[in-house]
A and B are shown apart, each in its own frame.
Chain A
Amino acid sequence: DTAVSQTPKYLVTQMGNDKSIKCEQNLGHDTMYWYKQDSKKFLKIMFSYNNKELIINETVPNRFSPKSPDKAHLNLHINSLELGDSAVYFCASSPYATSGGAGTKNIQYFGAGTRLSVL
């Protein structure tokens, strides 16, 4: 079983559309994250979710919203897609507050990514 899985792997859509990317983890972790990797390959944190609470939001437009139906899922909803939203989006999870020492709790496990192309 894949530990952190994202769907779809590829997403091609038109400007102005609304889309969602799903993420599921079967590791029993209580913290999940969304990252964006742009065309220059820089990876940047977008959100983290812990116990259904949004922990951080790094200057992400409010067109982006994470939704967590339960501890194992953190979906990313994007409204009114723009050309600049084209990127690869990665979901991740970590065992923060559930297990391990101080160094272990920060280990993050990533999904394979979703390549979003906005035309």
Chain B
Amino acid sequence: DAKTTQPNSMESNEEEPVHLPCNHSTISGTDYIHWYRQLPSQGPEYVIHGLTSNVNNRMASLAIAEDRKSSTLILHRATLRDAAVYYCILPPGGGADGLTFGKGTHLIIQP
């Protein structure tokens, strides 16, 4: 997998927007950008993915830089339930391969 770099931790207040950055400067033209999160004592959970255009779903938005070397996961109104470790991943082209998880960003939400 292409390498991704994320801040170790971020802190935000409840009901405020959160922007989680990810750098992937060695991304190839066909690499998708995926985000997962892992809530305490649970398995990882898919959040969103994109290739070139910005994406929105019920959980979050994904903003992808024009050169695709970075992306930002946006939680529009963070709740305490969003406290988790967020992982930015570039899955391998083969769909049967496993995902490579880095250290991720530990998101802390203050009430």
Q: Give A contacts to B, CB under 8 Å.
A: 4, 31, 33, 35, 41-46, 48, 50, 55-56, 58, 90, 92, 94, 96-97, 102-113
Contact = CB atoms under 8 A, between A and B. Distances in A.
A106 B98 contact: no
A106 B43 contact: no
B97 A112 contact: no
Nearest to B46: A107
B29 interface: no
B interface secondary structure, majority: loop
Contacts, number: 71
Given A90-B43, A103-B51, A44 B97 contact: no
A2 B46 CA distance: 15
B29 to A, nearest CB: 12
Contact of B95 (A31, A41, A45, A113): A31
A107 B99 CA distance: 9
B1 to A, nearest CB: 10
B97 A43 contact: no
Most chain A Cβ neighbours within 10 Å, of B49, B51, B96:
B96
B98 A111 contact: no
A98 to B, nearest CB: 10
A107 B98 contact: no
Given A103-B49, A103-B50, A107-B34, A48 B97 contact: yes
A52 B101 CA distance: 25
Most chain A Cβ neighbours within 10 Å, of B30, B42, B93:
B42
Nearest to B32: A103
Most chain B Cβ neighbours within 10 Å, of A96, A97, A103, A109:
A103
